[in-house]
Amino acid sequence: MKIGFIGLGIMGKPMAKNLMKAGHELVVYDIVQENVIALQEEGATPAPSAKDVAKETKVIITMLPNSPHVKEAILGEGGVLEGAKPGSIIVDMSSIAPLASQEIAKACEEKEVILLDAPVSGGEPKAIDGTLSIMVGGDPEAFEGVKDILLSMGASAVLCGDIGAGNTTKLANQVIVALNIVAVSEAFMLSTKAGVDPERVFEAIKGGLAGSTVMNAKIPMITAGNFKPGFKVDLHIKDLKNALDTGHEVGSPLPFTAQALEILQYLHAHDSGQEDHSAIAKYYETLTGQKIQNEER
């Protein structure tokens, strides 16, 4: 199938490659030309604009940083809606505010175009190996029509409800991940300060109730001092801001999310915004003057 793909960054590029591995033909666009060239070398067809991507395809995937970027790519001058045909499906896999998804969907509906919001969880490693968790909001029939496409990029694709439900689910995911990393950092600093090897603590508790996918992924990075980004601090700041804004809109209290956001903002202000969100541990290392580390670090 010929599919449009807009946004070829740290997540979009490997996702697009997995679609091509699954046998799909891609028409691609990104404002960074070197990203387009990288996909062209893999066999994708470049397009000069989002509008031109939509002209050539009936299913258009967007994977962009935040709500304003998605609005610009879909609703703006030279955007998807200028080229999309009636009946086209836009699958926005960006992580944006649910209310923004609903606003974009309404504009799409006026042109007889369907929007699904389908953010992902798993970061760059799972984008590369095609095992992302995909949370979808929108029309059930449209979802069924693209589900196989989504499963070329992910291990699961779940319809969570109407438009915006995908991004609401993603915000819940991001709250849980952030608070998990805060808890892990706090607990492992406690063991370190008490003189207990954090790697032994990890081995002892990872199989119990405290164990989690987050701990399994992040403790090896933290103890090695490896904060190479799989999911950047600055992107998690964006997600938690969207979570707080949504919480305020619907009347849901998020006090611990606000605390986690302040820690991430501290890291951003101290030159760690482009590091992995496991760098939350560095906040505790700064407070205590001690590293959470293995023997080699």
pTM of the model: 0.90
Q: Per the structure block, which two tokens stand in for 15?
A: 């996702």
pLDDT tens for residues 258-276?
999 999 999 999 999 999 9
Question: C-alpha distances in angstroms, 1 versus 20, 26, 53, 148, 149?
Answer: 10, 8, 14, 11, 9
Phi, psi for residue 123 in degrees, rounded to 5: 70, -175
The CATH architecture one would assign to domain 2-163 is 3-Layer(aba) Sandwich (3.40)
SS3 of residue 49 by DSSP:
coil
- Percent pLDDT > 70 in the chain is 99
Domains 2-163 and 169-288 share a fold: no
Domain assignments of the chain as residue spans, ordered by start: 2-163, 169-288
SS3 of residue 122 by DSSP:
coil
Q: What is the mean pLDDT of residues 100-116?
A: 97
pLDDT of residue 294: 67
Phi, psi for residue 53 in degrees, rounded to 5: -60, -50
Distance between CA atoms of residues 213 and 14, nearest Å: 22
Active-site residues, by number, are: 170
CATH superfamily name and code, 169-288: N-(1-d-carboxylethyl)-l-norvaline Dehydrogenase; domain 2 (1.10.1040.10)
Asked whether residue 179 carries a pLDDT value surpassing 70, the answer given is yes
89-92 and 59-62 strand pairing: parallel
